């Protein structure tokens, strides 16, 4: 009864999605899972990447035996149903870890087609209870396990945080795409920031669009390992879309179901999280007391000054404890164990 994962070519190794997939491979390797396919590669050439991934998929025929378990990461583009069928042909078992649902992320699949595709697995590991409920609402009937939050591996370690100076305003970090097209909400905040500072990490910030930038601090793009080591702030913001009053558009709607990887990055930076109260991860943030859930970004001018030093210290200590879990692969290990024990 062997245990395997299937590696592939990751042409954008700096992308959040590929970072999560590579972390999952590393965690499984540490647990003794073997690679059923080809060695992980990072070729940027799409033809080379296609060929390597295809050869890896075909190699499954010669690697997997009866009663073996193979963990796949979804989406696997055009190969997913095919490789599931190969594993079942060899009398093996498939556990699938969801990263993105095509119904929402790229809107290239109808929910009905996605349910049909996902029915090829034996057990599904999804982001959270809200994603599980959505799948069940689409008449998905296979066993489903909840991950809770994505783990986050890094060779960097966060230096011990110094206590907040009582005379200094709280600062909020936002890491991600900063262009007007990607996140218009950033450019609607200038009249609503008086009692906190906003630190921006990423590419594409259009400073000329903001006339009042007293509380904006632009740091530019910083690799995640460097951010973990040296991020300078008190909170990390999880927000998407055009509006400061709610997370709007496709990305905003998707926040109600998915676990944004940047949440895990903030936690590894020892930053308590500020998150939209309707986001799926708001429940995790609230239950673990690692931040605050808000309805609108306008509320921060009132909420942040009211947070006492003691209250903030407790949030940060709780965040550091969850960070230790993310660094060890705790949540994936727990979900895999639960999935392996279903109909075992």
The 10s digit of each residue's pLDDT in 158-185 is 766 666 667 789 999 999 999 998 889 9
Residue 343 has pLDDT above 60, yes or no: yes
Question: Looking at residue 45, what is its pLDDT?
Answer: 65
In a domain, 159, yes or no: no
Q: Are residues 192 and 142 in the same domain?
A: no
Q: Are residues 191 and 258 in the same domain?
A: yes
Question: Looking at residue 338, what is its pLDDT?
Answer: 97
Q: How many domains does the chain have?
A: 2
Q: Are residues 240 and 135 in the same domain?
A: no
Question: Looking at residue 162, what is its pLDDT?
Answer: 64
In a domain, 161, yes or no: no
Q: Are residues 181 and 312 in the same domain?
A: yes
Residue 83 has pLDDT above 80, yes or no: yes
Tokens in use for 291? 């931040």
Residue 15 has pLDDT above 80, yes or no: no
In a domain, 204, yes or no: yes
261-290 pLDDT, tens digit each: 999 999 999 999 999 999 999 999 999 999
In a domain, 287, yes or no: yes
Q: Are residues 140 and 190 in the same domain?
A: no
Residue 53 has pLDDT above 90, yes or no: no
Q: Are residues 278 and 335 in the same domain?
A: no
Residue 1 — very low, low, confident or very high, per pLDDT cuts 50/70/90? confident
Mean pLDDT (whole number) for 223-234 = 91
Question: Looking at residue 250, what is its pLDDT?
Answer: 75
Range of the domain at 139: 3-151+329-340
Q: Are residues 260 and 133 in the same domain?
A: no
298-328 pLDDT, tens digit each: 999 999 999 999 999 999 999 999 999 999 9
94-119 pLDDT, tens digit each: 999 999 998 987 777 899 999 999 99
The whole-model pTM stands at 0.93
Q: Of all residues in the chain, what percent carry a pLDDT higher than 90?
A: 74
Residue 11 has pLDDT above 80, yes or no: no
Q: Are residues 335 and 302 in the same domain?
A: no
Q: Are residues 187 and 263 in the same domain?
A: yes
Q: Are residues 15 and 128 in the same domain?
A: yes
CATH number of the domain encompassing residue 269? 3.40.50.2000
């Amino acid at each position: 009864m062997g245990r395997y994962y299937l590696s592939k070519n990751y042409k954008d190794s700096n992308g959040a999605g590929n970072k999560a997939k590579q972390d999952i491979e590393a965690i499984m390797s540490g647990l003794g899972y073997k690679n059923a396919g080809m060695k992980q590669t990072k070729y940027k050439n799409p033809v080379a990447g296609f060929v390597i991934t295809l050869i890896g998929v075909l190699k499954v025929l010669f690697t997997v035996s009866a009663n073996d378990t193979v963990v796949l990461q979804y989406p696997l583009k055009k190969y997913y149903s095919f490789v599931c069928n190969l594993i079942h042909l060899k009398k093996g078992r498939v556990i699938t870890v969801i990263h993105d649902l095509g119904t929402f992320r790229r809107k290239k699949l109808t929910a009905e087609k996605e349910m049909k595709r996902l029915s090829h697995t034996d057990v599904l590991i999804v982001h959270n209870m809200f994603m599980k409920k959505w799948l069940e609402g689409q008449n998905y009937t296979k066993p489903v396990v909840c991950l809770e939050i994505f783990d986050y591996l890094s060779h960097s370690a966060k230096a011990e945080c110094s206590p907040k100076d009582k005379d200094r305003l709280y600062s909020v970090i936002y890491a991600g795409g900063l262009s007007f097209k990607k996140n218009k909400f950033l450019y609607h905040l200038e009249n609503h920031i008086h009692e906190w500072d906003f630190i921006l990490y990423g590419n594409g910030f259009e400073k000329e669009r903001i006339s009042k930038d007293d509380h904006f601090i632009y740091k530019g793009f910083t690799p995640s390992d460097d951010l973990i080591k040296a991020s300078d702030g008190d909170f990390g913001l999880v927000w998407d879309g055009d509006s400061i009053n709610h997370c709007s558009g496709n990305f905003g709607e998707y926040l109600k179901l998915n676990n944004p990887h940047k949440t895990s990055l903030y936690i590894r930076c020892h930053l308590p999280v500020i998150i939209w109260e309707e986001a799926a991860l708001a429940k995790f943030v609230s239950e673990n007391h690692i931040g605050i859930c808000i309805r609108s970004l306008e509320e921060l001018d009132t909420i942040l000054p009211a947070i006492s030093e003691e209250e903030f210290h407790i949030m940060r200590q709780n965040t550091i404890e969850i960070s230790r879990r993310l660094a060890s692969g705790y949540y994936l290990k727990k979900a895999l164990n639960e999935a392996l024990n279903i109909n075992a």
